[in-house]
Amino acid sequence: MSRKIMLLVFVLILLLTAGLTDAQDEPIRIGILTDQSGWLSVYGVEQQNGFELGLLYAAGVDPLEYDSLEDALAAVEVAGRPVEIIVYDYGSADAAADADNAAAGARELIESNFVDIIFGTPNSGAAIQVQQITSPDEFNLLFMAGPSASPSITGANFNPNTFRVCRNTNHDAAALTTVADQFGQTYIQIAVDTDFGRATAAAFQASLSAKGIEPVGDVLLVPTDVTDFTPFIQQIIDSGADFVNPILAGGPITLWTQQSEELGLTDAVLTLTGTNSNDFIVAAPPAPGSVAYIVYQYTLPKTEINDWLTDRHIQVFNDVPDLFTECGFATAQALVAGLEATGGDPSPEAMIPALEGLEFEGPRGAYTIREADHQVLMDQYVIRFMGVEDVQLRDDLTMTLPIYELFAEIPAADINLPCQLEGDYAARCG
């Protein structure tokens, strides 16, 4: 081989090596698209806190060993690459603007911040908009959905770039249905008039009807800015239903709880529903003894990972993990596992096969991402509300918190979560 050819080969090797080095030095950019100033801002904070702690846990970085959370996050490396988190707050006073605001935020994260992956959103309607923007037909990047809970995200609106490592409301319906027949054979639903509310009501109706529990009328739909539940509560009392299933979100839950007690609904009709974030429950506690499904509560899972999450959350944020903290934590765990498997390649082409069928241990135990629809499968909880108490979390920290008793734990294998893909994707359900 001539010296000229040898020199050319050497230069090519240097260029290739430099390219690989540059790629490894380039951060993996993850956009957290959330609501921190609107009607679902409580959930947005939980989403971000959980994701950041989950990223630290999965990367083996202990925030207690650093001067600040920011310093700990700056130390994170995944597959040899640094990780950068960029948070976009799409929240506003106008709940109806969430979807458009989130879509604009997704475009800004992609076009201006050059993110590789987006995680969001608390609002299901907003998540559906982001699904389209991140789909293979548009910007083609990975979208990790959550805490948004509409079944349509991993159902009718599915595309292969979407994954959800958080529950959807089919989980909620299946969990509550396992105990609902103990409380009656007829029910009525009241739901917020959003994609989340409508889709959740449909999920509950399908699940309850399968057990022979029937509605006594149509779903009562209320606006997101409802200021008076009086006419709806009177309809529920007059319906003769054995129980009511309220499907609400954010601040309206506090108003609902207060007016239900004031107007005699709690004495007239049993309530079977879901719980909410701690601040909402403390502000307007349900009746002691009430039974509900629950997304997550820090005392329920008996796992080492949940112990780590709870301890670090208290130390870092001076608060306990809340309703959607686990969702963010597990999402970060799954992303790190996928990125390690791809050698740090965040593209959908690399990540989709790495995440499909992924099994891992998280705060609530075993998680499995179903290959067909990219929906996580996991155990669910039903609780009994016991009251509100002051809980000492540290020598210098006491908080007023809701107290729950585990009523039932439903294994993932017993939930039979439906696969609801449609159109060209329906065959994936098998």
d(CA 414, CA 412): 5
Residue 204's pLDDT band (cuts 50, 70, 90) = very high
Strand-pairing partners, residue 107, are: none
Q: How far is CA 171 from CA 32, 48, 407, 420, in A?
A: 24, 22, 16, 13
The mean per-residue pLDDT over the stretch 329-342 comes to 99
Residue 178's pLDDT band (cuts 50, 70, 90) = confident
Structure tokens belonging to residue 414:
């017993």
pLDDT at residue 7, rounded to an integer: 47
- Min mean pLDDT across 99-103, 273-277, 299-303 is at 273-277
Structure tokens belonging to residue 427:
């065959």
pLDDT at residue 195, rounded to an integer: 87
H helix or E strand, kind and range, residue 126:
helix 124-134
The three-point CA angle 120-124-128 to 5° equals 80
Structure tokens belonging to residue 60:
């083996």
- Min mean pLDDT across 179-183, 237-241, 341-345, 424-428 is at 179-183
Each residue's pLDDT tens digit, 13-52: 544 444 444 556 899 999 999 999 999 999 999 999 999 9
Same fold? 11-167+301-378, 170-294+401-414: yes
Each residue's pLDDT tens digit, 309-334: 999 999 999 999 999 999 999 999 99
DSSP string, 298-309: TTS---HHHHHH
Only one residue has tokens 């995200």, namely 153
d(CA 387, CA 54): 30
Question: The pTM is what?
Answer: 0.90
CB 364, CB 304: distance < 8 Å: no
The amino acid occupying position 253 is: I
Q: What is the mean pLDDT of the chain?
A: 93
Q: 403 pLDDT exceeds 60?
A: yes
Superfamily of domain 170-294+401-414: Response regulator (3.40.50.2300)
pLDDT at residue 9, rounded to an integer: 46
Taken as a whole, the chain contains a residue count of 430
pLDDT at residue 5, rounded to an integer: 52
Q: 395 pLDDT exceeds 70?
A: yes
For domain 11-167+301-378, which architecture applies?
3-Layer(aba) Sandwich (3.40)
Structure tokens belonging to residue 287:
């009746």
Please report, for the chain, the start and end positions of each structural domain, with discontinuous segments joined by +: 11-167+301-378, 170-294+401-414
The amino acid occupying position 30 is: I
